[in-house]
Amino acid sequence: MTNISRRDLLKSSAVTAAGATAGLTGIASASNHGKHNHSKSKRVVIVGGGIGGATAAQYLKKMDSDIDVTLIEANKNYHTCFMSNEVIGGVRPMDSIEFNYDKLAEKGIKVVFGSVINIDPDKQRVITKDNKVFSYDRAIVSPGIDFKYDEIEGYSKEVSETSIPHAWKAGPQTAMLLKQLQEMKDGGTFVIVTPPNPFRCPPGPYERASLVAAYFKKHKPNSKVVILDPKEKFSKFGLFMDGWKRHYGYGTDKSIITWIGKEAGGTVSKVDVATKTVTAEAGEFKADVLNIIPPQKAGPIAFETDLVGDLDWCSVDHKTFESTIHKNIHVIGDASIASPMPKSGYSANSQAKVCAAAIASSLNGVPMPDPSWVNTCYSIIAPKDGVSVAMVYAYKDGKIIKVKGSGGLTGPYNAEDRKREELYAHSWFNNITADIFG
Amino acid sequence: MKQTKLILIGSALLASSTFINLAHATVIDRATILANTCAGCHGPNGISNGPLTPSIAGLPKNYISESMYDFATGKRPSTVMQRIAKGYTDADIKALSDYFSKLPKKATEPKKTNNHHGHNH
């Protein structure tokens, strides 16, 4: 970035245009006549190229190609968390969940690979580790999640990278868990430690248990899955319980899956890394393969920029996703507090579009229509047994609300419908990733 | 881009405009906001990449609105759409039907979606 702001450049070019006698020569990028006296500068800097950030970049360009969109992301490739459980279950290749930013760059989005270390809300600029400075009129922060490793004694980032993966950010973590499960001997135990609410992808840990159980059933029939849970209920609870009974003998002494909820002592406080033994209220559990999904909070830059206040997540205006703490900074995706919307990929995608519309409207001085959101979360309980939870959201009295009568869960078991839902899940994956990275 | 409209300002306006001769106006309407939420399942611009969820771009307007009402009432069996279709007002359904009916179908026919028996998603 140069030190001369685009605003200054625009001013000088506008003066030049004014001096010219030719008719339609102006190249101003924003309307500056009429009653709205808004800025001509339309620079949006997006921090984080995950589901929220990449979607926002695409839709800002789509809504107004004159917006100068810069997307700053740490990694050249992105692995989606959604469908990574199919990779872990051995039924989907790793490269099918890997995406890059080539198409975004082709569409005129300035893709920058770097780590953002500071956002200055007063000077309205974003600074990366290698000291690049990006001035913005609006910033979108989509940092995803970070982990509270220290809430489980003995666990740490280092441990997660060397022996006990969380696999709750896809990529190398997914590959590590897959390898450990494939190398595990038959008769082994896979223990999943699940996080308390709120966390990314509420049905995700239970889908993971299901797909690993499906892998065991087929390849390692004497192996077990144990879920240690600090909650008494979870997303799609009834659907999973019913599915586990049908596919994995749940509730019998032959069950592949054991679920230990809060009341039964499922809350884990400690791990012995060397022996992969966790201490829960119910006692000690020794794993052959251990997966700890720690308690969560907003990604680091949200804390660095103080977008969180006293909370673990970022409070935002529900119509624009502008931070309630810092003006002109918007927060979307898992890091934002957008309840009743869950922290899901579809939510992040849907929020990014509303946020893009709010910013494009504002920068162009046109009114923002009432927003609308959708979330649909699919889970695969077993091959040919897909289920979902869906909801339509509206904006009312300053809040996101569930549209009454809409949404809900997949109904009672019906083989044909479940088969279709699995195919809809795969369609959803193909379409949402095309929407984000295509 | 569909949503971005370049408007040439007439010469009469030019006289009163200080120095902007070519103005750019961005229209973000409710139909666009609503339609954006469909892309996750039905694909960008209403064109699905399959294997099962159908494309909705370029379908007849009345067919889209009728489908939405029939999903909502259960007249047309479905798995997911019966839950989604109940989330919209008459005005929303009209806006969505109008929006998607005007989108171009893909030049080449998208993958067959195996949904020709009235049982849709």
The full set of domains in chain A, from first to last, is 1-31 (no CATH), 42-74+114-144+299-437 (3.50.50.60), 151-295 (3.50.50.60)
Show the tokens assigned to A125.
């600029």
B85 CA: distance to closest CA in chain A (Å): 7
Q: Count Cβ neighbours within 10 Å for each residue of A398-422 and write b for 16 or more, e otherwise.
A: eebebbeebbeebeeeeeebbbbbb
Task: Check if B52 contacts A (Cβ < 8 Å).
Answer: yes
User: Helix B61-73 crosses helix B90-102 at what angle (to 10 degrees)?
Assistant: 140
- pLDDT score at B27: 73
Show the tokens assigned to A430.
């193909």
For every residue of A289-320, DSSP letters joined together read: EEEE---EEE-HHHHHTT-STTSSSEEB-TTT
HSE of A185 in the Cβ direction (CA atoms, 13 Å)?
A: 2
A300 CA: distance to closest CA in chain B (Å): 28
Question: Which strands, in side-by-side order, build the sheet including A68-73?
Answer: A110-113, A68-73, A43-47, A138-141, A329-331
Please give the interface size between A and B, counted as residue pairs whose CB atoms are below 8 Å apart. 186
Show the tokens assigned to B42.
């039905």
Name the strand (E) or helix (H) holding A346: helix A345-364
Strands A43-47 and A68-73: parallel
Residues with Cβ within 8 Å of residue B98, at least 6 apart in sequence: B31, B61
- pLDDT score at A56: 98
**Residue range B9-30: average pLDDT?**
49
Q: Which residues is B24 bridged to in the sheet?
A: B6
Task: Check if B51 contacts A (Cβ < 8 Å).
Answer: yes
Q: Is A208 left (phi over 0), alpha (psi -120 to 50) or beta?
A: alpha
Interchain contact, A361 vs B28, CB within 8 Å: yes
- pLDDT score at B25: 59
Residues of A within 8 A of B99 (CB-CB) are none
Tell me yes or no: is domain B30-102 CATH 1.10.760.10: yes
Confidence of residue B24 (pLDDT cuts 50, 70, 90): low
Strands A133-135 and A283-286: unpaired
- pLDDT score at B106: 77
d(CA A72, CA A70): 6
Of residues A297 and B1, which shows the higher confidence score? A297
d(CA A381, CA A247): 8
Interchain contact, B3 vs A66, CB within 8 Å: no
**Residue range B11-23: average pLDDT?**
36
- pLDDT score at A152: 98
- pLDDT score at A30: 35
Q: pLDDT per residue over B50-92, tens digit each? A: 999 999 999 999 999 999 999 999 999 999 999 999 999 999 9
Q: Cα B13 from chain centroid?
A: 34
**Residue range B5-9: average pLDDT?**
37
For every residue of A351-366, DSSP letters joined together read: HHHHHHHHHHHHHHT-
What tens-digit pLDDT sequence spans chain A (438 residues)? 434 444 443 333 333 333 333 333 333 333 333 334 444 689 999 999 999 999 999 999 999 999 999 999 999 999 999 999 999 999 999 999 999 999 999 999 999 999 999 999 999 999 999 999 999 999 999 999 999 999 999 999 999 999 999 999 999 999 999 999 999 999 999 999 999 999 999 999 999 999 999 999 999 999 999 999 999 999 999 999 999 999 999 999 999 999 999 999 999 999 999 999 999 999 999 999 999 999 999 999 999 999 999 999 999 999 999 999 999 999 999 999 999 999 999 999 999 999 999 999 999 999 999 999 999 999 999 999 999 999 999 999 999 999 999 999 999 999 999 999 999 999 999 999 999 999
d(CA A336, CA A341): 10
- pLDDT score at A38: 45
Show the tokens assigned to A107.
């569409």
- pLDDT score at A295: 98
What residue spans define the domains of chain B?
30-102
Q: Is A229 left (phi over 0), alpha (psi -120 to 50) or beta?
A: beta
Average predicted confidence (pLDDT) for chain B:
78
* CB contact at 8 A, A406 and B37: no
ipTM: 0.88
Give which of A184, A181, A191 is closest to A283, Cα–Cα.
Answer: A191
Hey, which residues 11-50 in chain B have their CB within 8 Å of chain A?
Answer: 11, 13-14, 16-30, 32-34, 36-44, 48-50
* CB contact at 8 A, A44 and A137: yes
A244 three-state secondary structure: helix
User: Helix A204-219 crosses helix A237-248 at what angle (to 10 degrees)?
Assistant: 0
Q: Among A16, A351, A372, A379, which would you mutate to test the B interface (most chain B Cβ atoms within 10 Å of its Cβ)?
A: A372
d(CA A351, CA A339): 12
HSE of A375 in the Cβ direction (CA atoms, 13 Å)?
A: 26
